[in-house]
Structure 1
Amino acid sequence: MYVCVSCYLIAAVFKKYIVGSVIFKLHHALGDGYSLMGALLSCLQRADDPSLPLTFPTLKPSKQESKSTKGICSSFSWLVSSAFYTVADFGWSMLKSSIINDEKTPIRSGNVGVEFQPISISTMAFSINQVSDIKSRLGVTINDVVTGIVFYGTRLYMEQMNSKSKTAESTALVLLNTRNIEGYQSINDMLNTKAKGPWGNKISFLHVPIPKLKQSRSSNPLEFIWEAHNIIKRKKQSLAVPLTGTLLEMEGKFRGQEAVAKHIYGTLSNSSAVISNLVGPLQQMALANHPVKGLYFTLAGGPESLVISIMSYMGVLRVTFKTEKDFIDEQKLKSCMQSAFQKILKAAKEISDKTR
């Protein structure tokens, strides 16, 4: 299997009215997205003051999550739920990686050799301020909002291409970094044997069902946000993600990397879409004194028809679509994503206005 991570930089020199693109294409065997992005960021500096370090958004837990005091009954209930969800999620992940395929839909061709077919790459951007506004009005997280928009936009596209597919069984494979660390480290820090975020492939994945476009959700798009919120909240009680990461590490140690590649290939083949995200810096960066206007990444070489990658940079949330060429209409997909965003933003404002 050939899977690589491609990072795209757009550098602009406004004084000379020159806009250029720098493309980095790196094989996944070198490291995962965290490692490769950390190495890339080590080559960049802040555009306003190179002597200052780049800073990144912090992931602060909510007040409810930060409370550590639990009663005996609630703790026992949480442990029972965690054990149940872990077994269910891990078992489902194993089945999805081996014998259970998603249906063929407008986002999954299911053709053999998709990884060798031509691809199309397109991007669109959302304002983080507007996404944060939705988050504040609904009392959810940024991840809930972004996931809900992506799921809703995907279902709108599926409905437009084939009305029956809006209720098809479709699964998104979410790629996750298993390091317990915020921000990025330099290459020297990652190569340190005691590093909290060591270099390498420290990844896992999570199967998330894409909510179906039922009549109630068509009339109230915010249900996709609530559904995403409930799914993410429930998945936090499960230990399936670290178990899957441990399984991949053990498989690589005892059966070799070819066995790991086969496992991941089967997992990607059986899913409808792949979703990945990285956090970018808050300040503008510069490459060789050239200001970087935009930054995004995608995954290429996998057997999936649709990859959605998300990255924040300078107050902009850029969503990148890697699609199977001549199978997925990327312009219509982007239009559906934009429509989903606008409908959710409008519905969130209407709810907030009614509660005043």
Structure 2
Amino acid sequence: MAAEEPTMKMIRIKAATEEEEPPPVSPFSRLFQSPEVDSFIIVTLGCGIRLNSTTIIDGLKLSLINHPRFSSIPEMGRGNGGKPVWVQTKVNVEDHVFVPDIDPDMESPDQFLEDYISNLTTIPMDMSKPLWELHLLQVKSSVAESVGVFKIHHSLGDGMSLMSLLLACTRKTSDPEALPAVSAKKNHVGPSSFLGKIWWLVAGSWWITRLVFNTCVDLVMTILTICFLRDTKTPIVGGAEHKSRRFIHRIISLDDVKIVKTAMKMTINDVLVGVTQAGLSRYLSRRHDQETTSKSQQFPKRIRLRGAVFMNLRPTTGIKDLADMMAKGSKCRWGNWIGYVLIPFTVGSEADPLEHVRRAKYTMERKKLSLEAVFSYAILSLTMTAFGLKALEDLTRRIFERTTLTFSNMVGPEEEVSFYGHPITYIAPSAFGLPHVRTGLTLHFQSYAKKMIIIVAVDPTVIPDPHQLCDDLVESLSLFKSAVLERGSSHTDVKKLQ
């Protein structure tokens, strides 16, 4: 017995130590919590049936709140040096789920939804409880029987991780016990022959040379942006910061995107960047004509318009890993480990609409051969370490106030899924709170089954007609598809997709 006492004592000391040292709030989570940034993620889930709040609350109790971040609150002074830490707390799920009393016979349910979600961006979140909430709206819109709206503080995780976590709470509609499947990147297998290996070595050397060159160019552009380089002032660039945001979405066919992708031999992301370029060109040209008094003043041909794209640098946590963690208490990777990339968008009229996607493909292929995201993460981390949170806030503000929009494309489930027994008709994620002093536009694309959802988040004082912007984006894809079909490009593949 005497020999066992030290061991038991060590166990007790270890347990006590673990209780005294909760996990620290990461530098980027601290940034997202700062009053200067205070960033949130909004996820709208359209459902095919009326929502059963009791079923959803019971489901959340068995899954989502088992994730440490969804059952913790940030507290100052508990960590080493008085740094904030995540402290576990008891969660009353009913305090996080809101079911407002809504008139089922209202005249404009779509407008009501827009107003309700927009109002959420102006209401501060209670920091004394875990930083998330779910609003269940029993209102029948044009594309759903009811709607659930998640409002999640960005400090809980990056967008990719949080979306994976929410998908881990869903199951396939065709198989209620199966987790949703998301398409994964294919691994390339190296050559096996001797000549093939020699060619692979030569190509690899050229690849590394281009990688180094592109990274150096992108770093110079980042430094210039931090110092003074701003985007061209356009009608979608504002002059003051507004917290209120309005969220609009459109649902288009993913097959239409794939038709253009196959015909042009590019990726879906390339097509979506092309859609963004073409849509912004149409919208800005119209706004220019409306707001210009002199008819002789033409829409400028050279415009510097860039999108800031946040990229998750942490290896993506699988949906199954997150589901196991919530069900069995296992561990998995988590946290805000993100860098950013500045993507230039070519804005202007083109005689051939497909020129927009060709330019997009060139831009994205070049960005893939760059370590800009890694080095931007290093710059932000070093700023935080050397100069503190205020310096990091200022650096982030400089980047966002000198670019025009944020852009994101996320891959969703390959087939329809259900959220605690409620079949989902669409998924529309977005974000707000980032310090866009000069702009009012955030653009997200989300694939889901055979759909592609376009989500536009705008500052209504800068972009008063977001529905028109969405229409321009949809029309741009339609023009791409028509151009491809007229030329008969990849006729066999196009026929298979139709």
More contact order relative to length (CA 8 Å, sep ≥ 6): 1
2:208 to 68, 79, 83: 79
Q: CA RMSD in A?
A: 2.9
Question: Any conservation in 2 of the 1:155–1:166 contact (CA below 8 Å)?
Answer: no
Specify the code of the residue in structure 1 equivalent to 2:271: V
What is the CA–CA distance in structure 2 between the aligned matches of 1:36 and 1:27, rounded to whole Å? 10
Q: Does residue 177 in structure 1 map to residue 312 in structure 2?
A: yes
Q: Deviations over 1:29-85 (max 9, x none)?
A: 1211022212322322222322112101222368999x9763554443332222111
Aligned to 1:295: 427
Q: TM-score, normalised by structure 1?
A: 0.87
Q: Does residue 261 in structure 1 map to residue 389 in structure 2?
A: no
Q: Which has the larger radius of gyration?
A: 2
What is the CA–CA distance in structure 2 between the aligned matches of 1:320 and 1:354, rounded to whole Å? 30
What is the CA–CA distance in structure 2 between the aligned matches of 1:164 and 1:73, rounded to whole Å? 45
Aligned to 1:112: 240
**1:338 CA drift (Å):** 1.8
What is the CA–CA distance in structure 1 between the aligned matches of 2:470 and 2:402, rounded to whole Å? 24
Q: Kindly, what percent of the aligned residue pairs are identical?
A: 23
1:53 to 167, 179, 190: 179
With over 3 angstroms needed to count, the CA separation of the structure-2 counterparts of 1:259 and 1:283, relative to structure 1, is: farther
Q: TM-score, normalised by structure 2?
A: 0.64
Q: Does residue 93 in structure 1 map to residue 225 in structure 2?
A: no
What is the CA–CA distance in structure 2 between the aligned matches of 1:277 and 1:294, rounded to whole Å? 15
Q: Does residue 39 in structure 1 map to residue 160 in structure 2?
A: no
SS of the equivalent of 2:356 reads helix
What is the CA–CA distance in structure 2 between the aligned matches of 1:142 and 1:169, rounded to whole Å? 24
Question: Any conservation in 1 of the 2:170–2:179 contact (CA below 8 Å)?
Answer: no
Aligned to 2:266: 140
**1:318 CA drift (Å):** 0.3
Aligned to 2:116: none
SS of the equivalent of 2:219 reads helix
What is the CA–CA distance in structure 1 between the aligned matches of 2:43 and 2:303, rounded to whole Å? 32
What is the CA–CA distance in structure 2 between the aligned matches of 1:63 and 1:131, rounded to whole Å? 28
2:440 to 302, 305, 314: 305
Aligned to 2:380: 248
Aligned to 1:3: 39
Aligned to 1:338: 474
Q: Does residue 228 in structure 1 map to residue 323 in structure 2?
A: no
1:327 to 459, 462, 476: 462
With over 3 angstroms needed to count, the CA separation of the structure-2 counterparts of 1:51 and 1:72, relative to structure 1, is: closer
What is the CA–CA distance in structure 2 between the aligned matches of 1:68 and 1:233, rounded to whole Å? 24
Question: Any conservation in 2 of the 1:47–1:286 contact (CA below 8 Å)?
Answer: yes
Q: Deviations over 1:297-324 (max 9, x none)?
A: 1111222310001111111110100011
What is the CA–CA distance in structure 2 between the aligned matches of 1:250 and 1:68, rounded to whole Å? 39
Specify the code of the residue in structure 2 equivalent to 1:317: M
**1:167 CA drift (Å):** 3.4
Q: Deviations over 1:128-168 (max 9, x none)?
A: 11111111111111111111111111111111111525632
Question: Any conservation in 2 of the 1:285–1:291 contact (CA below 8 Å)?
Answer: yes
Q: Does residue 13 in structure 1 map to residue 142 in structure 2?
A: no
What is the CA–CA distance in structure 2 between the aligned matches of 1:245 and 1:68, rounded to whole Å? 34
What is the CA–CA distance in structure 1 between the aligned matches of 2:472 and 2:181, rounded to whole Å? 33
**1:187 CA drift (Å):** 6.7
Question: Any conservation in 1 of the 2:170–2:417 contact (CA below 8 Å)?
Answer: yes
Unaligned runs of 5+ in 2: 1-36, 53-138, 289-297, 493-498
Unaligned runs of 5+ in 1: none
What is the CA–CA distance in structure 1 between the aligned matches of 2:220 and 2:346, rounded to whole Å? 20
After TM superposition, list the pairs within 5 Å mapping 1:59-74 onto structure 2. Answer: 59-60=185-186, 70=199, 73-74=202-203
Question: Any conservation in 2 of the 1:140–1:229 contact (CA below 8 Å)?
Answer: yes
User: For this pair of structures, how many residues does the alignment match?
Assistant: 346
